[in-house]
A and B are shown apart, each in its own frame.
Chain A
């Protein structure tokens, strides 16, 4: 139960056993819920939601910590309940304020790193790990049943990675397939198993002799040889040293298979079978961090191997390499200077592209863009698979360049370059790019440059037959600014699908929409941004008009800035540093840790935001700051009681 903070809140100390929710719920029921209810949402705030159903209310108060801090502020300053409504008694007001505060403050501490539930490898992590380990390319994201995503929408989120019988079947089949491929490839196999163990004729003869007269172990030679192959393999796969019992089990399997066969290549086959077991072991498939035997109430550092894995899966989506592994053995990763050097090295490694691709395509919602065409192929035949692939690669290459080249995250919003091949350049109307290869292209104007003007994003945020200023505006608010508008009232409806010629009328239709008071609040924020992007057609091509009607791409943001066209809009958005920094910080924090970010993490997020703004949004400095956060390097004991609220 919630014991921390009792000293600071003597009022609660008298009833330490009382559930804080039962204290505040009746007060809220009388004074707050009548207006801040789900269907009413005065000031767009509903307080009642989290008290319904099977929620862990305390955890949800913490999750919406900012809203609840505001509640406290409003009550303390006497602004709520409004004068026109019945007033709270002094005791009620005190109890409500103190209880909410104690829930919030007890969760907030820079020494609480939070807790990550063990995670199964995501399909792309599996793919890269198998490649690092075995050298076989296995297209797991295509073959395995897809996972969902959570947190900020990433597929490496611990809460949404499940294992089911069907997935287990696929893991087993994959292990068979992977080991078959490795075994069939002579060069690859010799990398894994440098030499086959074979008994000489005399040794075999000796075995026969010994067999009759003694009980000497005839497989001993093979087991000794196999140990040198299997132990390092499993150790890499499990990303740590093996325990003696684990070695014995694996070698036991090896022996069983070896002795169960009489073929010439039984040594290799038995090694292969044992490696298969490694590939389906929970020790390979899950990333977990061990628990201390004794419950303790303070956070403690991850082990060296655990930290090495966190780093390598964050920046490479795969196993630690030898250098990281060695560093872990030598206990160097806890040293800040050394850690920084490692991050720098890792970002320059080609494997950092795994991170770039995984992070940016999921962040901006285009991870399935190559496989799924968001537009109607009859109307937009030009959006071919190869063009979609080029658009996808544009974003990945762009982000990779931001990481290592320009080194400024603000370039994601606006810049004077992008990455094109001939086909994509032609689609964008840019001359002088030849060949299939994607390369950096310096732009003469600002029509392109930044993710808002990328074909992948523009098409993903369109309807099959027309553009949608609302969807595009919402996308910018949600993905760039990190301020998603609340869902529309259910009967708000969508505009009818129409030909592009009728797009001209959209503006009038939406203007009518914005006139409705229930819609105005959010559409004032979304629509202008969407209109600013109307010069891009659904497939991301530049257009000056809707056939015979002109495009009006000027508008004013609710914050007051006016713009004409996407070039100026991008420029304005690039100045929204606070929102962007917070959004980026939260996204990458979630991606790196694999858990959600809540009010409890506020102090971490503030450090990240400060780092971005203080260093001109430098990715390297930012990532170094991130991996040094307690949330990245520490953990709390799951057996301790103190962090339960926080870990939810």
Chain B
């Protein structure tokens, strides 16, 4: 990265103007050959990695607080990045505690909205609010090809839960574009890869896109005409269609963004893409019970490449759906499904199996953090310029308790966060306070988020 090249820093330009108004980032300020994000100040990336079914609470929280702490047994896999993480204790998602919030769904769909969800078998689905990642995408996503990406590993559960009265759709949705619009997750690594990177592989035949814009124009106009014939609820529904068309158009339209993205993909990255492409071809999940580590890592490799190429700056990834029944018998000493084991009844054997599954997921998270750390970004590395959350909607899977949630944030947020700490907050501190703090780091305009009462103390550098 040549820093000797001429450029006006945005700050200096603002100073020069003597104005305190915020100006949008102008392409004109970018020197030739550079794009907005290979200049000195790098954007902060955000990801939320969700783990289902809670944790063995006795082996989660590190001992010792502040920067002098010992990783707990479950958190051991984070040893290499211990100085790059914040372990946050006593945060609570108040939105997940309301009458009728039985089971997992009411503590999952709102993990980033922090509000109660509507109990429904499918009508009037409502997550209570926009999710934090989507708020960020809305405010900060304009500069990238995708304002945000959503990934998962398990298909949306079909059916409804007759016992608790929720549609299982809630189990697979943590990103909400609006209270009534869940985002769609990509769970297939092949498709996730192709969507972003297929174009960079040698011998990729591109489809002729000459008429795409005309086709989209026509269908958008069709939909607008249709709107006039519909009732209110239908019109609301059709908005989804119109917005989706618009988002597609923006991606064809914006040559500058596309070019910036393509320029980011260095020959080195192309090599990596080719090898990841092969790995994806080779891996096939034959049956439940097979070791899924490679599959999870492939998805995280895609995520890291998406950050590196600046395809997006906001990603959510669900390691599993709420109440995931993934068969973990591939871990030595574990027999059975995740959800079943999480109802451990305080039996020592089950508790240890439960803990091993937690540790397994923490190890995957550690893999992602280390991967980001290995990728240079500006003057530091990708991890330094990120905030990578790890969270579960439950503290204890046996009691479904959602107080004192397991939460870790990895990365320094571009230098804003003082990592390498285990922090304990006052009991029942709103989880929304963390989101508010991260909004501050991202320079978002968010005076308050859900039930937030203020920013978290002690996390800033």
Contacts and interface: CB of A to CB of B under 8 A. Distances in A.
Interface of A: 37-39, 46, 48-49, 52-56, 115, 117-118, 145-153, 155, 157-160, 162-169, 172, 176, 245-246, 249-250, 252-253, 256-257, 260, 273, 276-277, 280-283, 285-286, 288, 290-291, 362, 365, 367-368, 372-374, 376-378, 385, 463-465, 474, 478, 484-487, 490-494, 496-497, 595-596, 637-639, 647-648
Contacts of A246: 222, 225
Interface in B102-128: 102-103, 115-116, 118-126, 128
Contacts of A372: 288
A281 B344 CA distance: 51
Nearest to B330: A378
Interface string B163-199: 1100111001100010001111111000000010000
Contacts of B229: 288, 290-291
B155 A164 contact: no
B221 A249 contact: yes
23 contacts: A52-B98, A145-B185, A150-B120, A150-B125, A150-B160, A166-B183, A166-B184, A172-B248, A281-B223, A290-B229, A372-B288, A376-B289, A377-B287, A463-B336, A474-B163, A485-B163, A487-B164, A490-B398, A491-B398, A491-B400, A493-B345, A496-B349, A638-B230
Contacts of A55: 118-119
B158 A155 contact: yes
- Chain A binding surface SS class: loop
Given A37-B99, A362-B159, A464-B337, A150 B123 contact: yes
A377 B168 contact: no
A637 to B, nearest CB: 7
A560 B320 CA distance: 42
Given A152-B160, A162-B184, A465-B335, A286 B241 contact: yes
Given A164-B244, A165-B243, A464-B289, A253 B238 contact: no
Contact of B159 (A115, A281, A365): A365
B121 A151 contact: yes
A373 B287 contact: yes
Contact of B234 (A152, A288, A373): A288
A47 to B, nearest CB: 10
A162 to B, nearest CB: 6
Given A496-B345, A596-B122, 9 more contacts: A56-B124, A117-B233, A164-B244, A168-B247, A288-B229, A291-B231, A376-B327, A490-B399, A638-B233
A357 to B, nearest CB: 14
A635 to B, nearest CB: 9
Contacts of B182: 162, 164
B336 A147 contact: no
Contacts of B218: 249-250, 252-253, 277, 281
Interface residues of B, number: 92
Contact of A150 (B121, B243, B288, B337): B121
A282 B126 contact: no
B398 to A, nearest CB: 6
Interface string B373-414: 000000000000000000000000011110000000000000
Q: Which 6 A-B pairs have the closest CB atoms?
A: A150-B122, A638-B231, A148-B169, A38-B99, A484-B162, A493-B345
Contacts of A285: 241
B168 A282 contact: no
Interface centre among B122, B221, B325, B335 (most CB of A within 10 A): B122
B102 A490 contact: yes
Nearest to B231: A638
A496 B340 CA distance: 8
B336 A148 contact: no
Interface of B: 98-100, 102-103, 115-116, 118-126, 128, 150, 155-160, 162-164, 167-169, 172-173, 177, 181-187, 195, 207, 210-212, 214-216, 218-219, 221-223, 225-226, 229-234, 237-238, 240-241, 243-245, 247-248, 287-290, 325, 327, 329, 335-337, 340-341, 343-345, 347, 349-350, 398-401
Given A118-B237, A146-B156, A164-B181, A52 B99 contact: yes
Contacts of B340: 463-464, 494, 497
Contacts of A491: 345, 398-400
A543 to B, nearest CB: 21
A174 to B, nearest CB: 12
Contact of B350 (A52, A377, A496): A496
Nearest to B226: A282
A491 B54 CA distance: 13
A151 B343 contact: no
B265 to A, nearest CB: 20
Nearest to B159: A153
A249 B325 CA distance: 50
Contacts of B212: 172
Q: Which of B116, B169, B287 has the most A CB atoms < 10 Å from its CB?
A: B287
B123 A159 contact: yes
A596 B123 CA distance: 7
A641 B3 CA distance: 65
B168 to A, nearest CB: 6
A639 B228 CA distance: 13
Given A49-B119, A286-B241, A378 B329 contact: yes
Given A368-B155, A491-B399, A648-B124, A150 B167 contact: yes
Nearest to A153: B159
A252 B290 CA distance: 53
Given A290-B229, A494-B340, A276 B215 contact: yes
Given A465-B335, A596-B123, A378 B167 contact: no
B168 A149 contact: yes
A38 B233 CA distance: 32
A435 B262 CA distance: 55
Nearest to A499: B335
Given A148-B169, A288-B234, A493-B344, A163 B123 contact: no
Nearest to A175: B215
Contacts of A146: 155-156, 158, 187
B195 A290 contact: no
A356 to B, nearest CB: 17
A494 B397 CA distance: 11
A184 to B, nearest CB: 14
Contacts of B159: 149, 153, 362, 365
A155 B233 CA distance: 19
A367 B237 contact: no
A159 B238 contact: no
Nearest to B173: A148
B169 A463 contact: no
Given A168-B248, A494-B343, A497-B336, A118 B122 contact: no
A118 B234 contact: yes
Contacts of B219: 277, 280-282
A188 to B, nearest CB: 20
B172 A148 contact: yes
A492 B397 CA distance: 11
B183 A260 contact: no
A52 B116 CA distance: 9
Given A162-B184, A169-B195, A53 B162 contact: no
Contacts of B121: 150-152, 596
Contact of B210 (A252, A260, A368): A260
B165 to A, nearest CB: 9
B183 to A, nearest CB: 6
A153 B125 CA distance: 14
B288 A373 contact: yes
B222 A249 contact: yes
